[in-house]
Amino acid sequence: MILIVDDTPENLISLKKVLEKYDFEVDTASSGEEALKKVLKNSYVLIILDVQMPGMDGFEVAEAISGYSKAKETAIIFLSAANTEFKFIAKGYSSGGLDYITKPVDMNILLLKVQTFYRIYEQSRKLNEMQKTLLEEIEFRKEAERKKDEFISIASHELKTPLTSVKGYVQLLERSINKGDTDTIRKHLGKAQVQLEKLNSLIADLLDISKIESGKLKFNKQDFSLDQLLDNVIEVMHQSNPEFKINKKGYAKCDIYGDEMRIEQVIINFLTNAMKYSPGTDEINLTVNVKDNELYLAVKDSGIGMSPEQQKNVFEKFYRVEETSQRFQGLGIGLYIASEIIKRHGGQIGVNSSYGEGSEFYFIMPTNLSTEV
């Protein structure tokens, strides 16, 4: 928008008419004081400012405006009937003006100038936008780099923990073998095996991440019995976590078309998290049903729960709830992989949770989608 400031009403009207004829949006002020008020309220691309006005003259107005952050980008053209001496023109430029036109105004010249200022303004606006986008992109890189570094340090730590345990059990085994103590040997072997399993699943998750990144996560889809899969999973989970009771409600009662191992991985991730993030509790509910060729599976715990903000991010790569990240071990990639698996089965993954009261993770997927997603 252009602001014309002139104390002579005829000048205001005639300038306004010409500019509006060329589709410029125009506002007017009949004194320096009124102009300052308007500049505070509105954004102008250009101000055409009469120099000789009672009260504040044009130079004073320009000086005051140059102090407003809002008008930083605003161009000023002075209009002056007299004072064409060089020192006045110089004063105009030094008080923030970008151009100086003497009256009587040649409308063609003024229009050319207005159009040029508009073009410059548009270009500088675009440049500013580009600069902003570039800065944001740089920040986003930087942020990705920081997350990667943090992830490498957590991953190394997570891998080192079971590895150190295995090393310890192997040393103990050596001693027990020397003593010929078979019971203890069996116990240590069992414990080493649990730690090796942990190591294996951590490495498998890391490999999955790199497969997802490179688009190489492949699925081997065929019909399988979900009810049988659930029975097996519940039995295995119960063996390694006997303190938890998993209450299963419902049946699929039909075959599901999908990658059995990958769907199992999602369910194990839900159950493992439900146990990990629910200290002091001993029950988990697993609900399953199939309706209208759609499978619904949910795992509900009564653990620490999550705030709405945390729920929004929980399927993001590397996301871990900050306030509990020290208390519970993890890499923050299990749910990201799970969501990728469900998406690639044409389904949806989600969570309902209340902070301090527990969480319910669920997925919905078609039971017979045969096309590759």
Task: Specify whether the CB–CB gap between 61 and 36 falls below 8 A.
Answer: yes
Could you tell me which stretch among 159-167, 213-221, 231-239, 273-281 binds ligand ADP (CB under 6 A)? 273-281
Of residues 58, 97, 162, 330, which one binds ligand ADP by CB under 6 A?
A: 330
Which CA distances in Å does 331 have to 137, 147, 207, 319, 339? 26, 12, 13, 8, 15
Smallest distance, Å, CB 290 to ligand ADP?
A: 24
Smallest distance, Å, CB 246 to ligand ADP?
A: 14
Task: Decide if residue 153 touches ligand ADP (CB under 6 A).
Answer: no
**Distance, CA of 244 to CA of 239 (rounded, Å):** 10
For ligand ADP, the closer CB: 26 or 321: 321
Could you tell me which stretch among 15-23, 165-173, 316-324, 339-347 binds ligand ADP (CB under 6 A)? 316-324
Task: Decide if residue 199 touches ligand ADP (CB under 6 A).
Answer: no
Task: Specify whether the CB–CB gap between 274 and 358 falls below 8 A.
Answer: no
Of residues 314, 341, 349, 365, which one binds ligand ADP by CB under 6 A?
A: 314
Smallest distance, Å, CB 201 to ligand ADP?
A: 10
How many CA atoms are closer than 13 Å to the CA of 34, on its beta-carbon side? 13
**Contact residues for 266 (Cβ-Cβ < 8 A; gap 6+):** 338, 341, 342, 349, 363
Q: What is the DSSP letter of 105?
A: P
Taking Cα atoms as reference points, which of 73, 61, 100 lies closest to residue 84? 100
For ligand ADP, the closer CB: 303 or 347: 303
Task: Decide if residue 332 touches ligand ADP (CB under 6 A).
Answer: yes
For ligand ADP, the closer CB: 113 or 317: 317
Helix axes 9-21, 107-179, angle to 10 degrees: 60
Which amino acid is located at 94 in the chain?
Answer: S
Could you tell me which stretch among 51-59, 98-106, 214-222, 333-341 binds ligand ADP (CB under 6 A)? 333-341
Of residues 92, 258, 334, 347, which one binds ligand ADP by CB under 6 A?
A: 334
What is the four-CA torsion angle of 312, 314, 320, 321, rounded to 10 degrees?
50
For ligand ADP, the closer CB: 336 or 363: 336
**Contact residues for 111 (Cβ-Cβ < 8 A; gap 6+):** 18, 19, 22
Of residues 188, 198, 221, 320, which one binds ligand ADP by CB under 6 A?
A: 320
Q: Measured at CB, which residue is nearest to ligand ADP?
A: 330
- Match 């519940």 to its residue by tokens: 234
Of residues 124, 324, 348, 354, which one binds ligand ADP by CB under 6 A?
A: 324
Smallest distance, Å, CB 326 to ligand ADP?
A: 11
Residue 358: Cβ within 10 Å count: 21
Which amino acid is located at 122 in the chain?
Answer: E
Task: Decide if residue 162 touches ligand ADP (CB under 6 A).
Answer: no
Of residues 331, 341, 342, 349, which one binds ligand ADP by CB under 6 A?
A: 331
**Cross-strand pairs, 104:** none
Site string for ligand ADP, 209-228 (x = CB under 6 A): --------------------
Site residues, ligand ADP (CB under 6 A): 269, 273-274, 277, 301, 303-306, 314, 319-321, 324, 330-336, 359
